[in-house]
């Protein structure tokens, strides 16, 4: 392997946690699925089974929605003062922090994520998202309206109701809390379906929610497959809103199901093919580092990965040299090893899909600068891979590969960079590396994407709205914008001067 991988010594890095929660969490209880069926969750380091987890289906989703509906219509959660909801959410966040190692380890064995990143980033970030929205829970207000007619009016912001959250597998903990936290603050109740590849931490969070004092029925977790349990959520007549993160193809199905059922509110955070544009005045070392981390972080399984890198001709050769050097030195191996920078892809399907894109790139005539092969005898490891000399219509330049595969190109002018960066059906994020403020301003205003990072990448923050343009979806995560996804505005109007009006 790219050094560092040691299957025999896995346990020397960390104690693999005992799996405590494998059942559906409905109405405050862990229960078996109605069918009694279970699904296997697999360790991508080895391809072996970690545990069997309850396989929820439509009937289980019905049960969970019933619990959430009851908790919304008659339970305390939506009726509590916001400050009290916030206090309970703060407690929930404390409990997460008390269990950081175990939660990080669960995401490592389930998703192949780096344990060190989970410990210092994913799990603490999950707790911080909860705290951000806990602080917002008692600041949800409408407005007083000065109407142009003889009326007095005000608006109320009310919780939208029962929410269905369909969660992806690449960043299981953060994705869970991006969705659950603002919905909790708003006073909603919910059914969460984690991805079938990564159900373990979500079930643990259900347990912590109960310990924190979140009332029964407010958070229900149904583990199961997308076309069954996931589809049951998006088509459910008694779910008021669905929040989905995943592929554009599945996002389309979620929207169709919502339209064909009860016209529930939909928000979609979908795929990306994000460009990173490096201008001639950039520091070569920093630019190469940003570009490589932009594509290899979390083994490329990131919706905003900088999968298309455009470098201006004056420094192109230098950047290529540095990128290839750094990619070759990038350490791929067991994600529990603190020296390792890249773990295995999430599962066999994803692993094979990425390798087939690489083969496609080679067949179509792009130049493979480095990588391109699987690593190790078992598990789903892939070399950091860089293609150049690609054409914009090639699949490696157009499709979201969701793996450690960069498409690298040279450009001459700022206009060409903007045109090529925008030549995609996606619009999730983009990066710009330059010291020239005018260039940075011009490019950031010209690119049709929801987030622009100038001289940085992955600069997420709880207070910074995140979401797509174009086929990357709609509806923001993070920030107060996400809170508003889970609120409805009601207008209340009354005549002034006691005059009866019809």
Residues that bind ligand ADP (CB under 6 A): 166-168, 193, 195-196, 225-227, 230-231, 234, 246-247, 250, 253-254
CA-CA distance, 307 to 361, in Å (whole number)?
Answer: 14
Kindly give, in sequence order, each residue whose CB lies less than 8 Å from that of residue 123, ignoring residues fewer than 6 positions away: 96, 97, 100, 103, 104, 107, 173
Q: Return the residue matching tokens 């009726």.
A: 79
Query: Cβ of residue 257: shortest distance to ligand ADP, in angstroms?
Result: 7
Query: Cβ of residue 400: shortest distance to ligand ADP, in angstroms?
Result: 9
Query: Cβ of residue 156: shortest distance to ligand ADP, in angstroms?
Result: 32
* Three-class secondary structure of residue 174 per DSSP: helix
Query: Cβ of residue 304: shortest distance to ligand ADP, in angstroms?
Result: 14
Which of 53, 250 has the CB closer to ligand ADP? 250
Closest listed residue to residue 236, CA positions, set 82, 65, 103: 65
Closest listed residue to residue 347, CA positions, set 402, 389, 281: 402
Query: Cβ of residue 255: shortest distance to ligand ADP, in angstroms?
Result: 10
Which of 247, 293 has the CB closer to ligand ADP? 247
**Minimal CB distance to ligand ADP: which residue?**
226
Which of 184, 303 has the CB closer to ligand ADP? 303
Query: Cβ of residue 168: shortest distance to ligand ADP, in angstroms?
Result: 4
CA-CA distance, 109 to 86, in Å (whole number)?
Answer: 32
CA-CA distance, 384 to 293, in Å (whole number)?
Answer: 11
Sheet holding 451-454, edge to edge: 367-370, 385-388, 405-411, 308-312, 275-278, 429-433, 451-454
* Three-class secondary structure of residue 324 per DSSP: helix
Lookup: tokens for 371: 């990588």
Closest listed residue to residue 276, CA positions, set 313, 251, 304, 314: 304
CA-CA distance, 160 to 34, in Å (whole number)?
Answer: 28
Which of 219, 418 has the CB closer to ligand ADP? 219
Which of 201, 312 has the CB closer to ligand ADP? 201
Which of 169, 336 has the CB closer to ligand ADP? 169
Residues taking part in catalysis: 269, 303
Kindly give, in sequence order, each residue whose CB lies less than 8 Å from that of residue 192, ignoring residues fewer than 6 positions away: 165, 167, 176, 179, 180, 202, 219, 220, 221, 222
**CA distances for 312 relative to 3, 162, 181, 289, 414, angstroms:** 33, 50, 42, 16, 9
Which of 196, 240 has the CB closer to ligand ADP? 196
Query: Cβ of residue 176: shortest distance to ligand ADP, in angstroms?
Result: 11
């Amino acid at each position: 392997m790219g050094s560092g991988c040691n299957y025999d010594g896995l346990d020397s890095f960390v104690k693999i946690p005992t799996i405590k929660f494998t059942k559906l969490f409905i109405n405050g209880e862990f229960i078996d699925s109605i069918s009694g069926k279970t699904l296997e969750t697999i360790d991508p380091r080895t391809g072996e089974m970690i545990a069997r987890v309850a396989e929820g289906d439509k009937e289980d989703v019905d049960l969970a929605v019933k619990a959430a509906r009851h908790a919304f219509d008659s339970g305390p959660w939506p009726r509590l003062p916001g400050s009290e909801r916030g206090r309970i959410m703060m407690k929930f966040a404390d409990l997460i922090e008390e269990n950081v190692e175990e939660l990080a380890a669960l995401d490592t064995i389930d998703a192949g994520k780096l344990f060190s990143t989970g410990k210092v980033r994913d799990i603490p970030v999950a707790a911080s998202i909860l705290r951000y929205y806990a602080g917002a829970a008692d600041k949800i207000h409408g407005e007083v309206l000065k109407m142009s007619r003889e009326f007095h009016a005000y608006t109320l912001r009310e919780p939208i109701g029962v929410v269905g959250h369909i969660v992806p597998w690449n960043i299981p903990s953060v994705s869970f809390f991006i969705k659950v936290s603002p919905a909790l603050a708003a006073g909603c109740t919910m059914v969460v379906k984690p991805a079938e590849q990564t159900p373990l931490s979500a079930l643990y969070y259900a347990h912590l929610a109960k310990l924190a004092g979140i009332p029964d029925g407010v958070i229900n977790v149904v583990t199961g497959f997308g076309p069954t349990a996931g589809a049951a959520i998006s088509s459910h007549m008694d779910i008021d809103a669905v929040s989905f993160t995943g592929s554009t193809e599945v996002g389309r199905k979620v929207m169709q199901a919502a339209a064909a059922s009860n016209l529930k509110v939909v928000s979609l955070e979908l795929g990306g093919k994000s460009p990173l544009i490096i201008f001639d005045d950039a520091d070569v070392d920093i630019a190469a580092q940003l570009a490589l981390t932009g594509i290899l972080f979390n083994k490329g399984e990131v919706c905003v990965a900088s999968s298309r890198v455009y470098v201006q001709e004056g420094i192109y050769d230098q950047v290529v040299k540095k990128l290839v050097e750094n990619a070759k030195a990038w350490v791929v191996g067991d994600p529990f090893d603190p020296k390792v920078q890249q773990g295995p892809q999430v599962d066999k399907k994803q692993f094979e899909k990425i390798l087939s894109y690489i083969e496609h790139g080679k067949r179509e005539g792009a130049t493979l600068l480095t990588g391109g092969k699987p690593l190790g005898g078992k598990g789903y490891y892939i070399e950091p891979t860089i293609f150049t000399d690609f054409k914009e219509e090639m699949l490696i330049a157009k499709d979201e590969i969701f793996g450690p595969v960069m498409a690298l190109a040279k450009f001459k002018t700022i206009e060409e960079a903007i045109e090529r960066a925008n030549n995609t059906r996606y619009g999730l994020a983009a990066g710009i590396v330059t010291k020239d403020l005018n260039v940075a301003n011009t490019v950031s205003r010209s690119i049709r994407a929801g987030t622009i990072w100038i001289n940085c990448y992955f600069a997420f923050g709880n207070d910074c709205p995140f979401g797509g343009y174009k086929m990357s979806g709609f509806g923001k995560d993070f920030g107060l914008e996400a809170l508003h996804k889970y609120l409805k505005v009601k207008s209340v109007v009354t005549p002034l001067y006691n005059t009866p009006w019809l």
